[in-house]
Chains A and B, each alone.
Chain A
Amino acid sequence: MNTIVLTVVLPLLAAFIVPVLSRVSPLLGRLLGPLTLAYAILLTLQVWLGMEGKPFSIALGGFQPPLGINFYVDRLSLLFTFLTLVTSLLLWPWRNETEPRQYALTLLLAASACGLALSGDLFNIYVFYELISVASFGLAAATRSGAAFAASLRYLILSGLGSVLVLCGIAIVYLQTGTLNLAQLSQLAPETLNTPLGLSAFALILLGIGVKGELFPVNSWVPEVYAAASGRVSGLLAGLVSKLAVLVIVRLLVLLFQQESALHLMLILGLLGAITGELAAWRAKDMNRMLAFSSIGQLGVIFIAFSIPGETGLFAGLALSLHHLLVKPALFLLAERWWGSLAGLRGAGLASPVAGGLFVLLALSLVGMPPLPGFWAKFLLFTGLAAQSAVIYQVAIGVVLLSIVIEANYLFRVVMDLFQPAEDDRATVVDGHGWLNLGTTFLLSALLIAGMLLMGPLGAWLEGVAMQAADPVLYFDTVFSVSAIH
């Protein structure tokens, strides 16, 4: 069971070995990263089969919580560890033979993302979050163009502001409770954090971590960075890093801030994000910017889903997150070849029908066309929202429907353009996709189809994950009684 710690340790170790090893033997340097990730995936699967659905906690260094730092392993955190490793492997920068630094940064991102998913300590979460930030700054600047440097500098400044806010929030939590262990906090929270001060701590942490989660007021970095970075990096940031930020916020909501006003705050920010993101995407003139803005919109919808109280919200939010994690990187990979103005894409779908077909499939699922998985995720969201009596949830239904309409409008506009014959003077610039990008997109689409075919068992399983994660008492009991099995 303790081998799960290796999913953090091994990629971290490999990240620092890769630059050195690449000097000695370029081949080994190229192989080390994927092999490490593959081995970590294997370890995760092993732990998954070994745990039999029961959560457990690992006291790092043998110091028992609350004094020591612990990793909390339940189905949710293990699921995100697995997804982190698989996504990093799928979006591995295979092309950059000359740039071992990018291997190192991707490994660093994978290691810290696993740590973030598993950590059971608030300050540890902050540290892993900062590690993710540093790795993503480096990846965003990896194309080494002036625009990439400027975009990642602006990203860094906003993210730095975010970590100041998170630190202030952590200071308030510590001031009120005197501990940072999530399990202990979950016990103390109903008395100590159910106050306006606790709400302000949540608001600070939400805004701070929301920078990575593309939350409404702190997402101005998104279009610039995605426009300047490569498709693989955009896919990693939009697909993976944003979901981990959301995961942290959800954990804190379940364990620490069980007050209605915290949920409403997140709901309002999510609504604003959904509507502004989709409207901006509708106006966007180029592919990358359109995808970036629409990712802001979809993250807004995910925040809306997670603000539904109880396990229905968790279930719907998880379904939406997994769907977005699958679809968005695939779209960014397609966009890498179709980079540039949307008007210039006319006829590109006819020139490479496979890519065009995949784009249509992904777009349909993104909009929520039955029977694709996107429909079921949105269906869960709507049933969850409709079950709530507060007016704001009814408003949310309207806003989400509106955002879907806008989304359908601009995505189908692109699809129409893709399959219209190119005009005479506009000899299409698109010369087909690289087999690597196309292969990865194909794999992700195949997973999407598999998800559609296995929707019944998948849904039941995901509901189990959500139920386990929505139980703060289980979290506390696991950390404080079962940690002896270490």
Chain B
Amino acid sequence: MMPIEIGTVLYAGAIGLVVIGIAGIVLSHHLFRIILALVIAEAGANLLLVLSGFRWDAIAPIITGGAAAPTMVDPVPQAMVLTSIVIGVGVQALALSLMLRAYGAYKTLDIRELQRRMSADLAGEAGTPLPQSLEEPVGGRPLPAAGGDGR
């Protein structure tokens, strides 16, 4: 009974971490927070991967003195998680350095502001009008000229 409950808690924790991370990526506006949210989501995915090969009644998969123990934890997911942690760290370092470069160019860490300036930059270079924002409708409102401001 008990181990099952711990297992459930751990699975819920892993999925919860992924959800927290994705929510952070979607909802945050500060670039550094977004990258931290990515770290959290990756931790959740890694935990899920470790759990997929874990057994509560088993020992670490190390063969000592010739004979193997009857039940051992599956070592494959652990090797995979090690790999994915290393990859994750590399990607995060790259993200941080790109963030610094972007900050150097636009002096902002707000992702909305960054995207606005980037679009303005690209549109300016291409000589096209700014892409319209969905939040600000274009064109004036068809209001009567007299007293239109008050409504």
A interface residues (Cβ-Cβ under 8 A, vs B): 123, 126-127, 130, 133-134, 137-138, 141, 145-147, 149-154, 156-157, 160-161, 163-164, 167-168, 170-172, 174-175, 178, 180, 224, 227-228, 285-289, 339-341, 344
Contacts and interface: CB of A to CB of B under 8 A. Distances in A.
Nearest to A176: B52
B77 A161 contact: no
5 contacts: A147-B121, A156-B94, A171-B45, A180-B80, A285-B128
Instruction: State the 6 A-B residue pairs at the shortest beta-carbon distance, nearest first.
Output: A146-B105, A167-B45, A285-B128, A286-B126, A149-B101, A175-B52
Given A130-B91, A156-B91, A156-B95, A145 B105 contact: yes
Given A149-B101, A171-B48, A340 B95 contact: no
A141 B118 contact: no
A134 B88 CA distance: 11
B105 to A, nearest CB: 3
B38 A160 contact: yes
Contact of A224 (B99, B104, B122): B122
B76 interface: yes
A285 B95 CA distance: 30
Contact of A340 (B77, B102, B117, B127): B127
Given A157-B95, A167-B45, A224-B118, A149 B105 contact: yes
Contacts, number: 135
A152 B94 CA distance: 10
Interface in B113-136: 114-115, 117-119, 121-123, 125-129
B106 to A, nearest CB: 6
Contact of A152 (B46, B98, B121): B98
A150 B115 CA distance: 7
Nearest to A344: B127
Contacts of A289: 126
A157 B126 contact: no
A227 B122 CA distance: 7
B87 A130 contact: yes
Given A149-B101, A150-B114, A161-B25, A134 B95 contact: no
Given A146-B105, A174-B53, 5 more contacts: A146-B101, A152-B98, A156-B98, A161-B25, A285-B129
Nearest to B111: A154
Contacts of B115: 150, 154
Interface of B: 18, 21-22, 25, 31, 34-35, 38, 41-42, 44-46, 48-49, 51-53, 74, 76-77, 80, 83-84, 87, 90-91, 94-95, 98-99, 101-102, 104-106, 111, 114-115, 117-119, 121-123, 125-129
Contacts of A153: 31, 95, 98-99, 102, 114
B25 A127 contact: no
Contacts of B76: 174, 180
B25 A157 contact: yes
B49 A170 contact: yes
B128 A146 contact: no
A137 B94 contact: yes
Contacts of B53: 174
A164 B98 contact: no
Contacts of A344: 127
A55 to B, nearest CB: 26
Contacts of A163: 42, 87, 91
Of A127, A153, A341, chain B has the most CB atoms within 10 Å of the CB of A153
Given A151-B118, A341-B126, A341-B128, A157 B41 contact: no
Contacts of B83: 123, 127
A152 B83 CA distance: 24
Nearest to B124: A147
A168 B41 CA distance: 10
B139 to A, nearest CB: 16
B65 to A, nearest CB: 23
A311 B99 CA distance: 45
Nearest to A151: B118
B42 A160 contact: yes
Of B25, B31, B118, B125, chain A has the most CB atoms within 10 Å of the CB of B118
B44 to A, nearest CB: 8
B9 to A, nearest CB: 17
B34 A228 contact: no
B122 A146 contact: no
A146 B118 contact: yes
Given A146-B105, A150-B105, A344-B127, A134 B94 contact: yes
A280 to B, nearest CB: 10
A170 B83 CA distance: 14
Contacts of A154: 111, 115
Given A149-B105, A161-B25, A171 B52 contact: yes
Given A224-B122, A227-B126, A285-B129, A137 B90 contact: no
Nearest to A220: B115
Of B91, B106, B126, chain A has the most CB atoms within 10 Å of the CB of B126
A437 B53 CA distance: 51
Given A149-B98, A150-B115, A157 B38 contact: yes
Nearest to A131: B87
Contacts of B128: 285-286, 340-341
Given A146-B106, A153-B99, A340-B127, A133 B118 contact: no
B12 to A, nearest CB: 14
B49 A174 contact: yes
A168 B94 contact: no
A34 to B, nearest CB: 26
A161 B98 contact: no
B102 to A, nearest CB: 4
Contact of B95 (A138, A146, A160, A224): A160
B13 to A, nearest CB: 14
A175 B102 CA distance: 40
